[in-house]
Structure 1
Amino acid sequence: MKTYRLQFEQKLPIPLAETWDFFTSPLNLAKITPANMGFTVTSPYDAQSKVYPGMIITYKIKPLFGISMDWMTEITHVKDQDYFVDEQRFGPYALWHHEHHFKEIDGGVHMTDILNYAIPYGVIGRLSNALLVRKEILKIFAHREKAINEIFGVYRR
């Protein structure tokens, strides 16, 4: 199985505690996901819920061509105000391992996302990644960066 790795970095002009509070709430993911993906958290969490190891989060999502599907991730690791990891348990990928890292910097937070993923179906999956999937993931993270800047402002230091 061919695996792929993408890394995204962004600086936020807010304190670490505020950053951590926002990104560890499962419901906030919908706020930074493109609307056309129809992303909805279907787990019974509320705005006060925060990630913890073993937490299962279920979603409805339309990753490609408007086709709705179920997705389930598990929060596998959490180190308070440092990092957390979500891994797909059911969904469109053969592998999805997403690390979220947070580091306090002068005037804000440096956030790093490390995504390791794989597409099923062998050669067809590799071709799909080259033609479509990788580009869609890059679009999602570009949208996410823009949405985060709109919510928190642009880091200027």
Structure 2
Amino acid sequence: MSVHCIKAVQTIPIGLEATWDFFSRPDNLQAITPAYMRFQITSKHRPERMYPGQIIEYKVRPLLGIPLYWMTEITHVVEGKLFVDEQRFGPYSLWHHQHHFREVPNGTEMTDIVHYKLPLWVLGDLAHTLFVEKQLADIFEYRRKKVAEMFGTFPPL
């Protein structure tokens, strides 16, 4: 019955305004999600920009192509600084995802912090150990690479 946490930090060589503009648009999430997940936003109401209280519905296929319904709520938005999405329905018993943005010299630092918990007590912990932890790490790594491909990277020091 463990609550798990992932933290990912990426520095992007574009300004804060452009970074925020991309990440605050829910429709852009598909571009940074692995194709095998067949991620699809299914919400009928799809404004261009996120706002507090917004409900976003998705269909994903994270395991063996089996479709899963996922609903999140954007619970907090501080323009240009952070937003939080929380699962309302879906595969986790807890999903709380913080997205932080801050200006750094010549770019933006983006930090994701996800607290999550799987259902089914011991079985959920076993599933976490067997495949969920690695799959989430792979999804964040894919996203890191895709963002670098789209926006570039800082030269090595």
TM-score normalised according to structure 1 size = 0.96
Counterpart of 1:16 in structure 2 is 16
Deviations 1:29-48 (A, max 9, x none): 000000000100111355x6
Counterpart of 2:32 in structure 1 is 32
Task: Output aligned runs, 1:6-155, within 5 Å.
Answer: 6-44=6-44, 49-155=48-154
- After TM superposition, the runs of 4+ consecutive aligned structure 1 residues lying more than 6 A away are none
Taking the aligned partners of 2:100 and 2:113, their CA distance within structure 1 comes to: 8
Taking the aligned partners of 1:24 and 1:135, their CA distance within structure 2 comes to: 26
Deviations 1:46-87 (A, max 9, x none): 5x6111100000001001121101100000001010000000
Distance 1:45 1:150, change over 3 A: farther
Taking the aligned partners of 2:154 and 2:101, their CA distance within structure 1 comes to: 15
Taking the aligned partners of 2:91 and 2:39, their CA distance within structure 1 comes to: 14
Taking the aligned partners of 1:81 and 1:111, their CA distance within structure 2 comes to: 11
Q: Do the aligned partners of 1:60 and 1:69 also contact (CA within 8 Å) in 2?
A: yes
AA partner of residue 62 (structure 2): P
3-state secondary structure, aligned to 2:153: coil
- Percent identity among equivalent residues? 50
- How many residues are paired up? 156
Structure 1: gaps spanning 5 or more residues: none
Deviations 1:89-119 (A, max 9, x none): 0001110000000000000000000000000
Counterpart of 2:4 in structure 1 is 4
**Structure 1 vs Structure 2 CA RMSD:** 1.2
Q: Do the aligned partners of 1:56 and 1:75 also contact (CA within 8 Å) in 2?
A: yes
Taking the aligned partners of 1:45 and 1:154, their CA distance within structure 2 comes to: 35
